[in-house]
Amino acid sequence: MQPLLLDERILGDGRHVSTWATLVDGKLRVDDDEGSSGTLSIAALDRVMVRYGLPLDTEIRLDGDALELGDGRRLRRLRHHAPVDATGRDYLVWERSGEAPLAAIATHVTAALRYLVMRLAAER
Protein backbone atom coordinates (compact mmCIF):
# COMPACT_ATOMS: atom_id res chain seq x y z
CA MET A 1 0.00 0.00 0.00
CA GLN A 2 1.31 3.41 -1.00
CA PRO A 3 1.88 5.79 1.96
CA LEU A 4 -0.09 9.03 2.06
CA LEU A 5 1.93 12.23 2.48
CA LEU A 6 0.33 14.14 5.34
CA ASP A 7 2.63 17.13 5.70
CA GLU A 8 5.93 18.66 4.65
CA ARG A 9 7.75 21.24 6.74
CA ILE A 10 11.09 22.99 7.10
CA LEU A 11 12.87 22.69 10.45
CA GLY A 12 14.84 25.49 12.11
CA ASP A 13 18.10 24.09 10.75
CA GLY A 14 16.77 24.20 7.17
CA ARG A 15 16.09 20.46 6.78
CA HIS A 16 12.94 19.41 4.95
CA VAL A 17 10.96 16.66 6.66
CA SER A 18 7.77 14.87 5.76
CA THR A 19 5.13 12.95 7.69
CA TRP A 20 3.49 9.90 6.10
CA ALA A 21 0.56 7.63 6.93
CA THR A 22 -0.07 4.00 6.00
CA LEU A 23 -2.59 1.39 7.04
CA VAL A 24 -0.95 -1.46 8.98
CA ASP A 25 -3.00 -4.24 10.58
CA GLY A 26 -6.11 -2.05 10.73
CA LYS A 27 -4.31 0.86 12.38
CA LEU A 28 -2.93 4.16 11.12
CA ARG A 29 0.86 4.14 11.09
CA VAL A 30 2.38 7.63 11.25
CA ASP A 31 6.03 7.95 10.18
CA ASP A 32 8.01 11.17 10.33
CA ASP A 33 11.32 11.71 8.53
CA GLU A 34 12.60 13.25 11.75
CA GLY A 35 12.43 9.84 13.39
CA SER A 36 9.19 9.53 15.32
CA SER A 37 6.77 6.83 14.26
CA GLY A 38 3.99 4.77 15.72
CA THR A 39 0.46 3.51 15.25
CA LEU A 40 -2.86 5.01 16.21
CA SER A 41 -6.31 3.56 16.11
CA ILE A 42 -8.64 4.70 13.35
CA ALA A 43 -10.87 5.97 16.17
CA ALA A 44 -8.05 8.34 17.26
CA LEU A 45 -7.80 9.68 13.71
CA ASP A 46 -11.57 10.10 13.67
CA ARG A 47 -11.48 12.11 16.92
CA VAL A 48 -8.73 14.41 15.59
CA MET A 49 -10.59 15.03 12.34
CA VAL A 50 -13.91 15.63 14.13
CA ARG A 51 -12.13 18.06 16.50
CA TYR A 52 -10.32 20.09 13.83
CA GLY A 53 -12.35 19.46 10.69
CA LEU A 54 -15.22 21.40 9.21
CA PRO A 55 -17.66 20.22 6.54
CA LEU A 56 -16.11 20.45 3.10
CA ASP A 57 -17.89 22.74 0.65
CA THR A 58 -19.85 20.52 -1.74
CA GLU A 59 -18.48 22.46 -4.74
CA ILE A 60 -14.88 21.40 -4.00
CA ARG A 61 -13.89 18.40 -6.07
CA LEU A 62 -12.49 15.52 -4.06
CA ASP A 63 -9.28 14.56 -5.79
CA GLY A 64 -5.73 13.96 -4.74
CA ASP A 65 -4.00 11.08 -3.04
CA ALA A 66 -6.04 9.03 -0.59
CA LEU A 67 -5.47 6.29 1.96
CA GLU A 68 -8.27 3.70 2.09
CA LEU A 69 -8.95 2.70 5.69
CA GLY A 70 -11.82 0.25 5.22
CA ASP A 71 -15.51 0.39 6.12
CA GLY A 72 -16.06 3.35 3.78
CA ARG A 73 -13.42 5.49 5.51
CA ARG A 74 -10.74 7.36 3.60
CA LEU A 75 -8.14 9.98 4.48
CA ARG A 76 -7.33 12.24 1.56
CA ARG A 77 -4.75 14.98 0.99
CA LEU A 78 -6.26 17.84 -0.98
CA ARG A 79 -4.58 20.93 -2.39
CA HIS A 80 -7.05 23.81 -2.54
CA HIS A 81 -6.60 27.44 -3.52
CA ALA A 82 -9.40 29.47 -1.96
CA PRO A 83 -10.05 32.92 -3.48
CA VAL A 84 -8.96 34.59 -0.22
CA ASP A 85 -5.58 32.80 -0.12
CA ALA A 86 -2.46 34.04 -1.90
CA THR A 87 -1.51 30.45 -2.69
CA GLY A 88 -3.02 27.00 -2.31
CA ARG A 89 -3.06 25.15 0.99
CA ASP A 90 -2.92 21.46 1.81
CA TYR A 91 -5.90 19.98 3.60
CA LEU A 92 -6.64 16.55 4.98
CA VAL A 93 -10.16 15.36 4.23
CA TRP A 94 -11.83 12.68 6.33
CA GLU A 95 -14.41 10.73 4.37
CA ARG A 96 -16.83 8.38 6.12
CA SER A 97 -19.57 6.40 4.46
CA GLY A 98 -22.90 8.22 4.63
CA GLU A 99 -21.46 11.40 6.21
CA ALA A 100 -20.30 14.72 4.82
CA PRO A 101 -16.51 14.92 4.39
CA LEU A 102 -14.59 16.92 7.00
CA ALA A 103 -11.60 19.05 6.00
CA ALA A 104 -8.84 20.57 8.13
CA ILE A 105 -5.54 22.25 7.36
CA ALA A 106 -3.00 19.44 6.98
CA THR A 107 -0.36 20.98 9.26
CA HIS A 108 -2.84 21.15 12.17
CA VAL A 109 -4.01 17.56 11.86
CA THR A 110 -0.51 16.21 11.31
CA ALA A 111 0.84 18.03 14.37
CA ALA A 112 -1.92 16.47 16.49
CA LEU A 113 -1.22 12.98 15.10
CA ARG A 114 2.53 13.33 15.70
CA TYR A 115 1.82 14.47 19.27
CA LEU A 116 -0.40 11.45 19.93
CA VAL A 117 2.25 9.09 18.53
CA MET A 118 4.91 10.64 20.77
CA ARG A 119 2.64 10.45 23.85
CA LEU A 120 1.87 6.80 23.25
CA ALA A 121 5.58 6.03 22.78
CA ALA A 122 6.41 7.83 26.04
CA GLU A 123 3.80 5.80 27.94
CA ARG A 124 5.32 2.49 26.86
Question: pLDDT, tens digit, for every residue of 25-44?
Answer: 999 999 999 877 999 999 99
Q: Check: CB of residue 76 under 8 Å from CB of residue 95.
A: yes
Sign of CA dihedral 72, 78, 84, 85: positive
pTM given for the model? 0.90
Q: What is the pLDDT of residue 110?
A: 96
Backbone angles phi, psi at 80, to 5 degrees: -135, 135
pLDDT tops 90 at residue 49: yes
